[in-house]
Structure 1
């Protein structure tokens, strides 16, 4: 079991999308073990319950489960989420965009319009709306962090990446714009994480023939998740951070 250092994130409130499994669930457990009060957001309740149980079993602060459909929710639903967080905690210290929608690698001409819209809703529109409604709550924190999740291959405009690739390219642009808009205040840092090839459910779906035993476990990202939401990363903003070269990343 990982050694718990409750000093790094004690008292911090962090919202995680896609928290029902994969990288979102991994991040939730890692951050909770560091003392954070995590809000688990996902549309599948059984998955939320599984992550909830793991966090409680680890002796970490009891998390909050918030069932939420990023694609089906309207702006009032998003605002209600923000209002509830503000009413319960007063502020929000972290926001991790980990939810992802991926249908398949295929030519754009074969990509279904429905899949295109659904992917953009989850991967791009939802992060935008969440940032929009949660920024006023995050600005009440002494120091807050927003972390987007991208993909090293899709972000280059790789053939056949379809709406998934388009959404990741746009997401990095959104993160950069937001980082520059918030930089002068110095209270909210915004960065983009590139997890790299990881033995995750998404990777299994996207690359089914790949030998996953050769890939790092999802828990290998625990250190970087903790870093990005802890005081150690204060001052680091507007960066695209590759998890594979994380230890060489500058901190100023």
Structure 2
């Protein structure tokens, strides 16, 4: 494993208590970073942060609540003195069913966690990054945001929105030392699959040319580089992690 230099850097990972977020945290700690895990349940955040390193921080944050996010941003800044990186990984799939059967509340919940949550975190953390004219933001979108998955309209729409937000914010900050990019991973084996039917999981797998789901360490490796100083030019871009399914 290549060790990417993240010494002295502080990175916030939303939804970091498990799955993709936790795997990214492991890779960053191995590279010398300090990590703040933001997740909904305090015990999950603190347990995962402690498992990563004694220098990590675990906070309870509802990313769909702008006040919760702002409070966490200030807590993180107070603890570490700065915030250099942000991984917007908190997300939910919502129910798998036709759009016409979605309730308004179900639609709103998915969009608020995935898309509005990404907005809230960027809105609170970008000003902190601007204090040092340095930052790396990685927003976790999905192949669903590129292609749309049937019976996952809210999730697909929210993930497409994240791509658009990334392009907009990246261009806004292009003349600064802050880079904003996103990844579009295919399905990985995480707890998010528990909310999907076996038929739907197989539907997604057979569409991946590599004929397997992404491994968490593969996603973490790409994100770690995107968060590093080495990623000094690319911004407002989408990085494909679909195993050949969506190569644009």
Cα separation, 2, equivalents of 1:47 and 1:90: 24
Equivalence for 1:62: 55
Equivalence for 2:22: 25
Equivalences, count: 237
Q: Is residue 229 of structure 2 the alignment partner of residue 231 of structure 1?
A: yes
RMSD value, Cα: 2.4
Equivalence for 1:190: 180
Give the alignment of 1:1-252 within 5 angstroms. Answer: 5=3, 8-56=5-53, 62-71=55-64, 73=65, 75-185=66-176, 187-206=177-196, 208-209=198-199, 210=201, 214-244=212-242
For normalisation by structure 1, the TM-score amounts to 0.84
Q: Give the gaps of 5 or more residues in structure 1.
A: none
Cα separation, 2, equivalents of 1:62 and 1:160: 42
Cα separation, 2, equivalents of 1:85 and 1:55: 16
Displacement, 1:160? Answer: 1.9
Cα separation, 2, equivalents of 1:52 and 1:78: 18
Displacement, 1:217? Answer: 2.4
For normalisation by structure 2, the TM-score amounts to 0.86
Displacement, 1:48? Answer: 2.1
Displacement, 1:109? Answer: 0.7
Q: Are 1:90 and 1:137, in contact at CA under 8 Å, matched by a contact in 2?
A: no
SS at match of 1:20: coil
Q: Are 2:84 and 2:129, in contact at CA under 8 Å, matched by a contact in 1?
A: yes
